[in-house]
Structure 1
Amino acid sequence: MTRLGDLERAVMDVLWDGTSGDTGSGATVREVADALAGRELAYTTVMTVLDRLAGKGMVQREREGRAWRYRAAASREAHIAQLMLDALDLGGSRDAALVRFARSVTGTEADVLRAALNTQASRSAGPGQEPARQTDATRQPVPVDEGPDR
C-alpha cells in the first residue's frame, strides 16, 4: 500500500471526514480545495493531487457534469490496517514485531485488540464449534529482541 505524503494525507482526510457534506457522496476538486482553504493551495494543485491519488488506487472518481467527484477507495481504518500489515512484511520475524507492538500499546488499546481477536477466533471456529483455545502446553514462546529501548 502506498504511503501518503503530507498534502495527499490532507486531501484524503477531507474525503474520509466527509467535509463536503454526506460522507458517502465524495467531493469535487473545488470542494476539497475549499476544505483546505487554510493551506492556500491552487485549484490545479488539488486537482493534480486527486488525479495522482486516483492513479494510486486511493480514490475512485466519477463524472458529475463537467467535473469529477472523488471518493476514498477504502476507509481510513482499512488504509491504516494495510500500512500495518505492509510494515510486518518488511522482513524479520512477524511474531517478534507483533509481540513488541503488543507490549507498546496502552491498557485500553490492549482491550480493543483482545476483543477483536476474540471475535475473530469465534468467527474462525464456525457455527456450533467452540473456538480453539491455547493451553500452556501449546503456547510457543516467541523470541523478542530486547534491545536498548526496552
Structure 2
Amino acid sequence: MAGDAHGDGRRRARGELEGEVLAALWAAGEPVTAAAVHERIGGGTAYTTVLTILTRLCGKGLVTRRREGRSHLYVPVDDQPGLAAAGMHSLLDEGGDRAQVLARFVSELSAEDERLLERLLHGDARGQG
C-alpha cells in the first residue's frame, strides 16, 4: 500500500518523516549521504522519498548539503534542542499577542518545568541546581 511506511496500514503524520530524517542526521553525527539516511530510517521508505525530504529540509534551511563526488553529503544546521527552540520562537512570532501566548504556555507547564524555567530565567544555563 502506498504510504504504508510502517507496515501496519498507518500513514505517517505530516512532518513525521521529516522528523525521522532529521533524527537520522543527528544520530550520524557527521555529514552523510542520502543513502546512509535511507538505511538508518528503514521502515520501507523509498529512497526517492528520503531524497525528496532532504531536498525539502534544505529548502527550509534546516539541512545543508555539499557535493562529494557524484552525490551530496547532508548535515543538519542545528541540533535537536536548537531546532525545537527555533520552532518555539517561530510559533511565538506567529501567535498574535505575545503576552497571551506566553501566559498560556507558562500556565500549562508542569511544576517541574516551571521550576526549570525559573532557574533558566535567573541565569542558571544548565537549568539544574
Tell me, yes or no, whether TM beats 0.5. yes
Number of aligned positions between the proteins = 111
For 2:40, the aligned partner's letter is A
2:102 is equivalent to residue 92 of structure 1: no
- 1:27 corresponds to which of 19, 32, 36: 32
- Highest relative contact order (Cα 8 Å, sep 6+), 1 or 2? 1
Structure 2 counterpart of 1:56, one-letter code: K
Aligned to 1:83: 87
User: What is the percent sequence identity of the aligned residues?
Assistant: 36
Q: Which residue identity is paired with 1:107? A: A
Measured after TM superposition, the shift of residue 91 of structure 1 is 4.2
| Structure 2 counterpart of 1:129 | none
CA deviations 1:25-60 (Å, max 9, x no partner) are: 12211111011112x112121112111211221101
Q: In structure 2, what is the Cα distance between the partners aligned to 1:74 and 1:9?
A: 13
Code of the residue aligned with 1:106 in structure 2: it is S
Which of 82, 103, 108 is 1:104 aligned to? 108
1:12 maps to 22
Tell me, in whole angstroms, the C-alpha distance in 2 between the residues paired with 1:119 and 1:54: 34
Q: Which runs of 5+ in 2 are unaligned?
A: 1-13, 125-129
> Structure 1 residues 91 and 56, CA, compared in 2 at 3 Å: closer, same or farther?
closer
Scaled by the length of structure 1, the TM-score of the pair is 0.66
Give 5+ residue unaligned stretches, structure 1.
Answer: 121-150
Note if 1:47 corresponds to 2:51. Answer: yes
